[in-house]
Chains A and B, each alone.
Chain A
Amino acid sequence: MIHDFRYVRPERLDEVLDLLSDRGEKGCVFSGGTDLFVDIRAGMTTPDYVVDLKGIESLHHLSFDKKEGLSIGACVTVNELIQHEAVKKHYSILAIAGRELASHQIRNRATVVGNVVTASPCGDMASPLLCLDAEAVILSNKGSRNILLSDFVTGVKSTTLRPDELVEKIIVPSRMIDATGGYKKLKRIRGHDLGVVSVALLKRKDTLRFAISSAAPTPVLLPDFPPSASVEEVQAAAQQAISPIDDVRCSREYRAFMVNVFIERLMKGAE
């Protein structure tokens, strides 16, 4: 690595929180490192120290029960998530979107929580989690707070997380276990690529819910629709909510167009 830093691997959560409370702004916590080390190598971030969370047993926790819902600890990898039986059964949208994230090697390291905390507009996990009303459980020396992911991400690579805070886990409520849905992602090649634009759909008995990524500074969650909603209705709402940009990956126009295409495909259950 071009930039030098200290490496610490605490084994207790309170050690991490103490460290963050002391000098949180100078360090970075990480688990998979698949975003952090890319950024450090590119000189985009230059932390004095990095805190490896993997030594903390509890953060590896991935569990489901019908009362509490799904709990995804900070160190749970994307592959652990998408291979989990309860996830495949009750939260299939997470498994579908997770499979679209990068390559197998990256998914072996990249964490679900990390993908959300990085808050890249093109992250694959955020939009399905938004649809699922997922909450982040945030810890600090001063206590803990829960926040809906839709309130957590505030802009391109920015969240409400303070330097002294840590996302311990993401909780997906149990009331969503009946949900089905899908995830459509525009890529530049068939192989692994970040999402040029993507749409997640969560279908429940009484509602349709859509979230859109790479079409605004943050993932966009649309208001709920009844199952009887027309494709045009949803598309109109989506176009109101997004603010895509022109960049090297795509034009604003095509992003907006493909959002409508994906909405239609998801609603018609087409491939």
Chain B
Amino acid sequence: MLPVNLEKRKDSGMFGDLRSGETRVIGKRTPRVDSIAKLTGEAIFVSDMAFAGMLFAQVKKSPHARARILRIDTRKAEALPGVRAILTGDELDYRVGLYMVDKYILAKGEVRHYGEAVAAVAADTTAIARQAVDLIHVEYEKLPPVLHPLDAIREDAPLVHPQLGNYDYIDTAFSPIPGTNICNHTKLRKGDIETAFKRSEWILEREYTNPSVQHVPMETHVAIVSWKHDDQVTIWSSAQSPFTLRNLFCMAFKLSHRKVRVIVPYVGGGFGGKAGIHIEPLVACLSRKAGGRPVKFTATREEEFSLLPCRSALTYRVKTGVSSDGKIIGQKMTMYWDSGAYADYAVNVTRASGYSAAGPYEIPNSWVDAYTIYTNKPFGTAYRGFGHVEFFWGIERHMDLVAHAIGMDSLDFRKKNALRPGSVTLTGEKIEEHTGNVLTCLKAAEKAVGYGRLTAGEKKREQRSGMKIGKAVVALHKAPAMPPFTATGVILKMNEDATVTANLSLTEIGQGTYTALAQIIAEHLRFPLHRIKISQETDTDRDPYDWQTVASKGLLLTGNAALLAAQDLLRKSYELASQILRAQPVDLDHDKDKVFILHNPEASVTFREMAVGYAFPDGRSIGGPLIGIGSYIAQGLTHLDKETGQGLPALDWTYGAHGIIVEVDEHTGEYNILKVASVFDVGKVINPDAVRGQAIGGMLQGLGTAICEGYIYDQEGHLLNPSFTDNKIPTARDLPLEVESMVVETPQLDGPYGARGVGEHSMIAVAAALGNAIQQACGAELTHMPIRFEDVWRSLGKKEPIDNWITKSPFGSCKSAPEIRKNRPVQ
């Protein structure tokens, strides 16, 4: 039974009061709950941890992209004093994998990418372990690597995984093609594409590409594992997703979940790169071999680039049919995702990108083939945006190029085709009023940058600088990519002083969700915010389940579980109070300190009195510790039909838009970003500063991949820029001269207080905004990102684009094959 105050609010749903707009804590400026520990240096990250008897691990890595391992000689390393355990692939027969179980803990028989782990050592010090690793001699027979996905799908291509047909995988979501390098083929078929093309007045086909990039969390991957007797394994890791890590670990080693404990303290950034399972199994095996002593492995910055995963490269081909009045009638989209040597998240990036591939536009007839393709390169994983940053580079460049070709303003073209209530998405989902409003986002961005004209000041600036100013507005969308049954739990424990401690296992990796959750709980309990604590360290032995900290789904799913837990805590408080006060729960109400009888407020009992059980004056007692439990599972989602891609994959759609102003030197290709204005339909702002932090932080991360970031390989598959020396990331000086952050609030009906996630969205489409504005300013037609000054210069001079993503290879370049033709439409 619900307490009366909750029933009164029932009309606004169980997800908080959406209508009154009167909130105490929600939507208000408040500091982060975790910043003091971080500001004082007291926050303990795994990289700061040490245990008695702890050993240090180092890894021997492959210098080749593809090679047969003929022999590994560890004798000299074994003889080194202080070495406690050495492992090679020969003695480890465990395969690990998130969706496709395709990866050995250490390479067995063959190495499949540059930087792959071949052997490992645990020793008393890092220096000894390093020395031991250097003493391990590996004999290889080099094999020709396959580096580009378009090479890898040719019939004569060497197979990265000849055993693909034998691997276990999640068959409800993925479709590998055994005997090829295709580890997943996602299909989507909606309407009648061929007829649509016949009816189109214009057909435009282009190809867009981007290289792999590195997440660059400031804290590199780090884990400490101790594997004790009776297979009692404890893992301290900088992981984003403790329960998924535990699950995959237990599956790989066939251990019961009760034996494995994963603890995640403060995490120094993740961005998707720490979402699955990575170094933990190897460190665990070293500990087991060293007799259970804790072993620590801290990746170097260089190892982040190739031992650990990156973001997949993409080649995206889009063919669009447009009617005479500028409506998209049909679109065929083909994605070649470069998985690298292992499938990891790349197969799911492919799937999620496949069903979002057209952007926030209505395409009545659509056809998607999205392939995840093995190559001999470091493997791809989740990265903020989960494929959308990559394919939005293509789709939002394409929208501009199509508009130019048909002589229409590109923003008008976007508005004309934007999803709106009544539209149907690629997977057949109907958009409603409450889904969110991409048009409002577009208009806000348009206004913020003064799209379509130059101000007097801007004209003056052009004259002064000799540069040309260009403006662009792009749209974006993303839904969480997750299984339809994604679930989470929150436990709220009332402390003796009527403060509340929340246990949950969504991790705080910087995104600010813990602060938002504290606000949601405080709001619902009517408690002051300072009385809520979100336990920082997550521990699978102690905290309730959460699937993963990914996909911008934490605020909605864990937020709802927190609301339910708060409801449960109140319900139990009311039940107890009803006995103490001799009143029915429906006649009770509460404030921040006490539960009281509605019509007789003097009859009350405080939360303090009830927190751990209520004692009557004579000592007899009732109740017990007040604990609220909230479990929530995504509602109404379905698997997608494997042949047509139809179904309901989206928990929520967060829409957004970026407006950008850029000035370009037409002679040299140099450019400056003068302004970026970003707007997102967040449903409801829980914490304005946190939203703004996500908006600006993600935007700059997106600009990083737009401006300079990217893996560069030689033709043998060696990574040539695995450090900050040649893989720059934006500094403070790279911030646009002006940034503006805006929100639209179209409440999400099943979001906590109407909120939806916005963690990834700021990074999406900003690269395309830059590309479009550059083209608008100077005419450079770029189809490959990042956009280095040189690329603009080459494009302007109509020189052949340089291709140093795989140097001196005819593939992987930004070469596009523009095919623009006017059709004779068939009515």
Q: Write the residues of chain A forming the contact surface with B, with a CB cutoff of 8 angstroms.
A: 1-2, 4, 186, 188-194, 246, 248-251, 253-254, 257-258, 261
24 contacts between A and B (CB under 8 A): A2-B130, A4-B127, A188-B707, A188-B708, A189-B708, A189-B731, A189-B734, A190-B731, A190-B733, A190-B734, A191-B728, A191-B732, A248-B726, A248-B804, A248-B807, A251-B790, A251-B802, A251-B804, A253-B799, A254-B790, A254-B794, A254-B802, A257-B793, A261-B667
- A residues in contact with B707, CB < 8 Å: 188-189
* CA gap between A253 and B126 in the complex, in Å: 44
Which DSSP category, helix, strand, loop or mixed, fits chain A's interface? loop
Chain B proximity of A53: nearest CB distance (Å): 25
Identify which of residues 719-733 in chain B touch chain A, using a CB-to-CB cut-off of 8 Å. 720-721, 725-726, 728-733
Interchain CB contact under 8 A, B712 and A248: yes
Is the CB–CB distance between A194 and B725 below 8 Å? yes
A253 to chain B, nearest CB (A): 8
Chain B residues 726-767 with CB under 8 Å of chain A are 726, 728-734
Contacts of B198 in A (CB 8 A): none
Q: Mark B783-806, 1 if CB is under 8 A from A, else 0.
A: 000001110011000010010100
B232 at the interface (CB under 8 A from A): no
Interface flag for B668 (CB, 8 Å):
yes
B790 touching A2, Cβ below 8 Å: no
Residue among B712, B720, B733, B790 with most chain A CB within 10 A: B790
Q: How far is the CB of A91 from chain B (nearest CB, A)?
A: 25
Given the contacts A2-B130, A4-B127, A189 and B728 also touching, CB distance less than 8 Å:
yes
Question: Nearest Cβ distance between residue A168 and chain B, in whole angstroms?
Answer: 30
Are A188 and B728 also in contact (CB < 8 A) when A2-B130, A248-B720, A248-B721 are?
yes
* Residues of A contacting B790 in the complex (Cβ-Cβ under 8 angstroms): 250-251, 254
Given A248-B712, A249-B726, A188 and B720 touching (CB < 8 A)?
A: no
Chain A residue contacts of B725, Cβ below 8 A: 194
Report the separation of the CA atoms of residues A193 and B802 in the bound assembly, to the nearest whole angstrom: 21
| Contact across chains for B720 and A191 when beta carbons are under 8 A apart | no
Contact, CB under 8 Å: B708 / A191: no
Cα of A246 to Cα of B807 in the assembled complex, Å? 10
Task: Find chain B residues with CB under 8 A from A253 CB.
Answer: 799
Nearest chain-B residue to A265 (Cβ)?
B668
Report A-chain residues with C-beta under 8 Å of the C-beta of B667.
Answer: 261
A189:B730 contact, CB within 8 angstroms: yes
Given contacts A192-B731, A193-B728, A250-B790, 9 further A-B contacts (CB under 8 A): A4-B127, A188-B707, A189-B731, A248-B726, A249-B726, A251-B790, A251-B802, A253-B799, A258-B668
- Closest-by-CB residue of B relative to A103 is B731
User: How long is the Cα–Cα vector from A194 to B726 in the complex, in angstroms?
Assistant: 9
Residues of chain B contacted by A251 (CB below 8 angstroms): 790, 802, 804
With contact pairs A189-B708, A190-B731 given, residues A254 and B793 touching in the complex (Cβ less than 8 Å): yes
Instruction: Quote the shortest CB–CB distance from B330 to chain A (angstroms).
Output: 39
Chain B, residue nearest A186 (CB): B789
* Selected contact of B127 from candidates A2, A190, A192, A257, CB within 8 Å: A2
Partner of B668, one of A191, A249, A261: A261
Q: Give complex CA distance A2, B298 in Å.
A: 14
Shortest CB-to-CB span from A39 to chain B, Å, is 12
Q: How far is the CB of A36 from chain B (nearest CB, A)?
A: 15
Query: Which residues of the other chain, B, contact A191 by a CB distance below 8 angstroms?
Result: 728, 730-734
For the complex, give the distance between the alpha carbons of A104 and B802 in Å: 33
Contacts of B733 in A (CB 8 A): 189-191
For window 668-709 of B, CB contacts with A under 8 Å fall at 668, 707-708
Within the assembled complex, what's the spacing in Å between the Cα atoms of A175 and B667?
38
Nearest 7 Cβ contacts at the A-B interface? A191-B731, A190-B733, A191-B733, A254-B790, A189-B728, A248-B712, A2-B130
Q: Chain A residue with minimal CB distance to B803?
A: A251
Q: CB-CB contacts of B214-231 with A at 8 A, as 1s and 0s? A: 000000000000000000
Closest to B788 in A: A188
Chain B residue nearest in CB terms to A190: B733
Q: List chain B residues, Cβ under 8 A from A186.
A: 789
Min CB distance B431 to A, Å, is 39
Task: Enumerate B374-420 residues with CB–CB distance to A below 8 Å.
Answer: none
| Residues of B close to A1: CB separation below 8 A | 127
In chain B between 105 and 156, which residues have their CB closer than 8 angstroms to a CB of chain A? Answer: 126-127, 130
User: Quick one: closest A residue to B805, CB to CB?
Assistant: A248
Nearest CB in chain B to that of A270: its residue: B466
- Who on chain B is nearest to A41 by CB? B300
Q: How far is the CB of B240 from chain A (nearest CB, A)?
A: 27
Shortest Cβ distance from residue B69 to the other chain A in the assembled complex, whole angstroms: 23
